Chains A and B, each alone.
Chain A
C-alpha cells in the first residue's frame, strides 16, 4: 500500500512541480506552464498578462498561486518558480536564503506602481491633508509630531460633516496595513477604532456609504463614490494620487510592484520567462497596468529594465 501511495504521491509531485517549461530549440516557440507564486494584490495583473501570453504563444500558459507576497521568496528559493510577484521588497532574511542556495541574488523587475490613497465620502469637502494630520486622525501614538489627536471633522476646520470621524482600513496582516502604518503613521500604531476590513474594496464601499467616514485603500480601488484626498507635503505642495504623480515619484504613499526573477548572472532567461517578461515590459503589457487602475511605468524605466534583462531585441 505504502509504495503505491508513494508512487501516486510522486506522480502528483511531478504534475504539480511539472513545469514542463522546457527550453526548446531556439526556433520553436516556448511551450509549457509558467508557474508563479506570490502577491494577491498583483493577482489581477498576473492573470491578464497570462491571458495575453497565451494569445501570443498558444502553447504557453501561466499558472498562478496568489497567496500573498510572503509566499514568493520561499518558492523562488526552492526553485519551484522562477518568477515571484511581490508587492513589497524582499526582506533581508528572504534575500539571504536565496543567495545561500544559488550564490547570487534574485533580480527584481519593477513592473508597475501602486499607491495608497486616503479616501473620504464623495460629498466631503476636505481639501487636503498633511501627513501630520493623517497621523493624528488614524494613530494613537502621533509619531509624526501632531500635538493632539483629531477625532472630529470640526477639528479639521470643516463645518460640513459634523461628528466623529469614522475610520476604515485594512486588517493587520495585510501589506497595505503595514505600508500605511510605516509611511503615513511614521511607524506608530493605529487607533483601535479603525474598522479593519478584509479587503481594500470593502474599505471603499464602507466609506462610500458614510459621509463621516475616512479610510485608506489601494489606488486601483478608487471609484467615483469616494474622493481621494490630495496629500500635502512639508513644503505645502499638494499631491493628488493620480498615476502621473505616482510615475513622477511625487506622490508620497507609493510602492513598486515587482517580479522577482531567478536569473543567473550572465546567462539568458529561459524562453518562457523571457517571453513573459518581454510581454510585461511591452506597451501591451503596460496597457494592462493602466486598465486595472495601477500606474504604469515611464518609457525610460521600461527601456532601462528591458536592456538590463537583455530583452532589447524582442521588446517591441
Chain B
C-alpha cells in the first residue's frame, strides 16, 4: 500500500533531512563561535599593524627603536625611557616608551610568583603527601573559593589597607618574615617531642589546621619583638636605614605590595595544578620508595617531584600567565609609576593597568590607542604562549603517568 509505506519513508526522509540540517547548523555555529573567540588575536594584529606600516596623519608610523630604546627628550640631558601619554593639546607632546610598562608588568608578575610559588608548592606538597583525606577534600574547594575572590576586592585591600599598614609596620613585616620559617620548624620539633597521647590529638594529617593558632602565636611574638629588632639593628627607623644604607627609598605603593596581593590571588591556581600533578604520580612509585625506608619528604624530593616536575612547572607557568594579565590589583596597589628600577620598594606600572585607565580616553585610531592595543596584543601573545606551553607539558605528563602506571 503506497500510502502507508510512503509515510514512514517520508518521515524518515524528514528525520534525516532535519538531522542533516541540524548537523550543518551545529557545525556552522560551532565553527562560528570558535572563530569569534579566536578573532581576538586577529583583531589586535589588524589594529596594531598600521603602527608599523602605513603612516596616516592621525597615527603616524612608529619605529621600534622609539618604543623600546631610551630616547632624548627636550629639557633632559640623558636619553631615558618615558611613558607619558598626555592630553592631545599639551605642549611637550606625549612620550611613548613601552619599556617601562613591559618592565613593570614582568616585575609585578615576578614578585607575585616569588610570594605565590613557595606557598603554593609547599601547600601542594603537604596536601599531596601528609594531609588527611578528609581535610584535603575540604581544602581544595576552599582554595578554589580563594581563587574566585575578585581582583578589585584584593586590590582595594592591598592599596588602602595593606599598603598603609606595612608603611607603618615595616619592622613588624621584616620580623615576621624572619621569624615565621624558623618558628614553624621549631613548632614541628616541639610537636615531635610531645608525648604520644597528646600527639594523637594533633595528627600530622591535620597539621595545616592546628598550625594556625601556632602562627597566631608567632605573630604575637613578632609584634612583641619588632620594636626591639627595629631598634637594635636599624636605629629604630627601618625606612631611614633602608634609604641610608642600601639606598632604597620606600614608596608606600610598591612592587612588594603588588607581589603580596597578586601572590595571594595567583597562589590557589598554582596550588590546584601542582597538587593535581603531585597526587597524580602513580602511587606505586612513592610506595616503593617508602618501602625502601625513605621518609615521605625524601620520597617527595627524590621520587615524586622528578616525576611530576613538568606538571609543577606548568602550574607555575599558568600562575605567571595570570599574574601578567591581572589588572585591578596592580591598578589599585602599585601607584602606577612607569619606572624601570629593580628596587622592590619602588612603584611600577603594568601594561594591563595602563590599558584600563588610558584606553577609554585615547582617541580611537590614534597612536596612543594603537600602542595600548599593542600592549594588549603582547599580553595576549604572552599568555597564550605560556598557557599553550603549560598545556603541552601537562598532556605529555599525563601520558607518562599512564605509562608508568601501566608498567608497574
Residues of A within 8 A of B (CB): 68, 70, 91, 140-143, 162-164, 166, 168, 171-173, 178, 181-182, 187-190, 192-198, 202, 205-206, 209-210, 213
Contacts and interface: CB of A to CB of B under 8 A. Distances in A.
A192 B337 contact: yes
Interface string B296-338: 0000000000000000000000000000000000010001111
A288 B89 CA distance: 32
A171 B357 CA distance: 8
Given A143-B75, A172-B84, A178-B90, A193 B164 contact: no
Contact of A210 (B89, B167, B336): B167
Given A193-B346, A198-B331, 14 more contacts: A140-B76, A141-B75, A163-B240, A163-B249, A168-B335, A173-B361, A181-B86, A181-B90, A189-B73, A189-B75, A192-B337, A193-B339, A195-B336, A197-B336
In order of increasing CB-CB distance, the 6 nearest A-B pairs are: A195-B335, A141-B75, A209-B164, A173-B361, A164-B249, A196-B336
Contacts, number: 99
Contact of A173 (B167, B349, B358): B358
A273 B244 CA distance: 62
B163 A178 contact: no
B63 interface: no
Contact of A68 (B90, B168, B335, B361): B361
21 contacts: A142-B75, A162-B240, A163-B239, A163-B240, A166-B251, A171-B358, A173-B358, A178-B86, A187-B92, A189-B82, A189-B86, A192-B337, A193-B339, A195-B336, A195-B337, A205-B160, A209-B163, A209-B164, A209-B168, A209-B252, A210-B164
Contacts of A172: 84-87, 358
A142 B90 CA distance: 16
B251 A195 contact: yes
A190 B84 CA distance: 8
- Among B75, B239, B335, chain A packs the most CB atoms within 10 A around the CB of B335
B347 interface: yes
A119 to B, nearest CB: 15
A68 B346 CA distance: 31
A202 B361 CA distance: 20
Interface in B344-359: 346-347, 349, 357-358
Contacts of B239: 163
Contact of A166 (B83, B95, B168, B252): B252
Contacts of A195: 251, 253, 335-337, 347
A189 B251 CA distance: 21
A164 B243 contact: yes
A187 B91 CA distance: 6
Interface string B231-248: 000000001100100000
Nearest to A93: B89
A171 B358 CA distance: 9
Contacts of A205: 160
B100 interface: yes
A206 B337 CA distance: 14
Contacts of B83: 192
Given A166-B252, A210-B167, A192 B100 contact: yes
- Among A70, A187, A189, chain B packs the most CB atoms within 10 A around the CB of A189
Contact of A171 (B159, B250, B336): B336
Interface in B243-282: 243, 249-253
Nearest to A168: B335
A164 B250 CA distance: 8
A174 B88 CA distance: 12
Contacts of B75: 140-143, 188-189
A188 B249 CA distance: 25
A206 B253 contact: yes
B243 A163 contact: yes
Nearest to A165: B249
A173 B84 CA distance: 10
Interface in B138-172: 159-160, 163-164, 167-168
Contacts of A164: 243, 249
A70 B346 CA distance: 33
